């Protein structure tokens, strides 16, 4: 494999960091080659055995890179985050932790964070992520916490937060809790910045960046009628006894989120409820609009996946959730994925366009999904299309996540008050 010069330079810099600090954080944007750069770093270090931790969806791609170019230099034990408990009797020289931002939960650490802290004890670590702290600098604490050589001192997040975080209060589900998101960026940079090696797509020479389009589709009268009734009465009962409840703001948000893309999960009145398709307007619009093009479709709810599969079958199209199959087949095969499960480690660069039937509340999901089409050698625009219901709530969610904010209940409550006065 012929590495690009920036990958060679970054691997050299990473070796120096690992030799001096036992930590190197490759903050390289998607599709710039983090995996190859990390493997090149390992090769230059001369270590003999490593553990590479990543998401399930990314394992096939990582394995391919390793077997094609690096298997003769060192042994690599590849594992996903959900299987960390299976690591036994290994004596690796180094850990590579891909999508390291997934360790950023706070104020309490996640199970995977605690497992990795034990497994990585006194070992050097290469962290990989294009978005180390997408929502708050507080997300860095537990990432570095897994290392015995963390630059962020404090045995617990709460102890560390006393010095690095301005703690506020917020209400979640009408319960007052401490908000630890307002971390001191300057102080954290002073402690950690020397460990990061950032690299952008622009620096890598990407010429075709993401171009986003937002489309608004008129849904059926039934969807708007149910949404209106839910807002007023907080409950809707169907002809066959199915009940939709929205007796709290959280339930109302979730029900509207489902409805405006054409499906609903009933609260009672039906057995084995996996959701019902009420309106397939969006998917019909998508298949007509992008007829003859190679597309990938992302969805939020399981019933939306069923809706997509039915519509594709009626149009003599096949669906797959295997990115490798999608990339090697023709335009009659459509890749489909749920937002969170397909937001990382999936390369869809062969697609003409990526279509989002709905939208997730998470800012990190937004930025990662929109990057799935990008690659260094892409010679056409990476089109990402958002398909929203006219007068739905998706535009509100889009505005928040596009501005690097999660769409929260507090946003929804404020916007519903405005909706009531209009």
Q: Quote the tokens at residue 398.
A: 């889009």
Closest CA to 161 of 107, 109, 101: 107
203: number of Cβ within 10 Å: 12
pLDDT digits (tens, 9 = 90+) for 179-188: 999 999 999 9
- Region of poorest pLDDT, from 112-116, 371-375, 386-390: 371-375
Does pLDDT of 2 surpass 90?
A: no
Of residues 243 and 380, more confidently modeled:
243
Does pLDDT of 378 surpass 80?
A: no
Closest CA to 41 of 109, 125, 150, 123: 125
Compute the CA torsion angle 396, 228, 223, 235 (nearest 10 deg): 110
Does pLDDT of 376 surpass 70?
A: no
Q: Can you give the residue ranges of every domain in the chain?
A: 5-204, 210-221+280-421
pLDDT digits (tens, 9 = 90+) for 186-197: 999 999 999 999
pLDDT digits (tens, 9 = 90+) for 203-256: 887 766 789 999 999 999 999 999 999 999 999 998 888 899 999 999 999 999
Instruction: Confirm whether 5-204 and 210-221+280-421 share one CATH topology.
Output: yes
Please state the three-class secondary structure of 234-276 as a single string: CEEECCCCCEEECCCHHHHHHHHHHHCCCEECCCECCCCCCCE
pLDDT digits (tens, 9 = 90+) for 319-371: 999 988 998 888 889 999 999 999 887 889 899 999 999 999 998 899 889 88
pLDDT digits (tens, 9 = 90+) for 17-61: 999 999 999 999 888 899 999 999 999 999 999 999 999 888 988
CATH for the stretch 5-204 = 3.40.50.10810
Q: Looking at residue 273, what is its pLDDT?
A: 67
pTM of the complete model? 0.75
Q: Which long-range contacts link 228-233 to residues 24+ away (Cβ below 8 Å)?
A: 230/255, 230/256, 230/259, 231/416, 231/419, 231/420
Strand-by-strand arrangement of the 23-28 sheet: 75-80, 49-54, 94-97, 125-128, 23-28, 196-199
CATH fold for domain 210-221+280-421 = Rossmann fold (3.40.50)
Does pLDDT of 271 surpass 60?
A: no
pLDDT digits (tens, 9 = 90+) for 108-131: 999 999 999 999 999 999 999 988
């Amino acid at each position: 494999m012929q590495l690009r010069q920036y990958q060679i330079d970054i691997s050299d810099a990473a070796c120096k960091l690992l030799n001096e600090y036992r930590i190197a954080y490759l903050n390289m944007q998607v599709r710039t080659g983090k995996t190859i750069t990390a493997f090149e770093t390992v090769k230059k270090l001369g270590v003999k055995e490593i553990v590479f931790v990543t998401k399930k969806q990314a394992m096939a791609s990582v394995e391919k890179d390793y077997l094609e170019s690096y298997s003769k230099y060192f042994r690599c034990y590849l594992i996903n985050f959900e299987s960390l408990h299976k690591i036994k009797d290994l004596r690796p020289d180094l850990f590579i932790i891909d999508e390291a931002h997934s360790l950023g939960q706070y104020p309490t650490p996640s199970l995977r964070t605690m497992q990795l802290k034990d497994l990585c004890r006194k070992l050097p670590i290469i962290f990989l992520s294009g978005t180390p702290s997408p929502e708050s600098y507080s997300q860095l604490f537990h990432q570095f916490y897994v290392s015995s050589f963390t630059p962020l001192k404090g045995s617990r997040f709460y102890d560390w937060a006393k010095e690095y975080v301005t703690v506020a209060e917020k209400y979640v589900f009408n319960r007052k809790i401490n908000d630890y998101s307002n971390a001191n960026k300057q102080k954290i940079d002073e402690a950690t910045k020397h460990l990061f090696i950032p690299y952008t797509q622009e620096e890598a020479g990407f010429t075709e960046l993401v171009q986003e389009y937002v489309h608004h589709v008129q849904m059926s009268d039934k969807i708007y009628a149910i949404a209106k009734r839910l807002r007023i009465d907080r409950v809707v009962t169907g002809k066959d006894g199915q009940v939709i409840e929205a007796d709290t703001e959280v339930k109302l948000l979730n029900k509207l989120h489902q409805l405006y893309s054409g499906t609903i999960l009933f609260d009672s009145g039906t057995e084995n409820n996996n959701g019902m398709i009420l309106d397939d307007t969006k998917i019909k619009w998508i298949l007509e609009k992008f007829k003859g093009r190679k597309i990938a479709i992302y969805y939020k709810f399981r019933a939306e996946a069923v809706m997509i599969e039915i519509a594709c079958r009626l149009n003599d199209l096949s669906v797959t959730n295997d990115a490798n199959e999608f990339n090697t087949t023709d335009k009659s095969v459509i890749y489909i994925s749920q937002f969170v499960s397909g937001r990382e480690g999936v390369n869809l660069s062969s697609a003409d366009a990526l279509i989002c039937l709905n939208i997730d509340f998470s800012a990190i999901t937004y930025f990662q999904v929109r990057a799935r089409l990008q690659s260094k050698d892409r010679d056409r625009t990476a089109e990402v299309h958002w398909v929203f219901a006219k007068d739905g709530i998706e535009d509100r969610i889009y505005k928040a996540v596009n501005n690097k904010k999660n769409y929260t209940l507090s946003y929804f409550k404020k916007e519903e008050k405005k909706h009531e006065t209009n």
